[in-house]
Amino acid sequence: DAKTTQPNSMESNEEEPVHLPCNHSTISGTDYIHWYRQLPSQGPEYVIHGLTSNVNNRMASLAIAEDRKSSTLILHRATLRDAAVYYCILYGTSYGKLTFGQGTILTVHP
């Protein structure tokens, strides 16, 4: 499985934007970049995914580097509810198998 590298932790203030980076230098052409988050005492929650172009949805934006070796998840205005562990995952042809790393623990301060 292709590997991703994320910072162990990040902090943000409420209502400020948050940029969560992810490096994936060994990404293959068929790998999609998926982001999930896990709030305390809950199952993981799908956030967003993309292949080559930047993507936006109601939760976040995903900015993908032109060479696809890195990406950034953008939360436009962090809320306390966004405090969670964020996982960047490469998802290609291995059916159903999301390979979770350690993720980034996001702390949001009031």
Binding stretches for other proteins (CB under 8 A): 32, 34, 36, 42-46, 49, 91-102
What 3-state class would DSSP assign to 80?
A: helix
Lookup: tokens for 89: 């995952």
In the complex, what is the shortest distance from the CB of residue 95 to other proteins, in angstroms, rounded to a whole number? 5
In the complex, what is the shortest distance from the CB of residue 15 to other proteins, in angstroms, rounded to a whole number? 27
Q: Answer yes or no: are the C-beta atoms of 17 and 34 closer than 8 Å.
A: no
Query: With the C-alpha atoms ordered 18, 20, 88, 7, is the resulting torsion angle positive or negative?
Result: negative
- Compute φ and ψ for 69, nearest 5 degrees: -90, -5
- CB nearer to other proteins: give 8 or 93: 93
- CB nearer to other proteins: give 13 or 28: 28
- CB nearer to other proteins: give 21 or 101: 101
For the chain, the C-alpha Rg in angstroms (whole number) is: 13
- CB nearer to other proteins: give 9 or 13: 9
In the complex, what is the shortest distance from the CB of residue 42 to other proteins, in angstroms, rounded to a whole number? 7
Name which of 101, 60, 55 is nearest 82 in CA terms: 60
In the complex, what is the shortest distance from the CB of residue 87 to other proteins, in angstroms, rounded to a whole number? 8
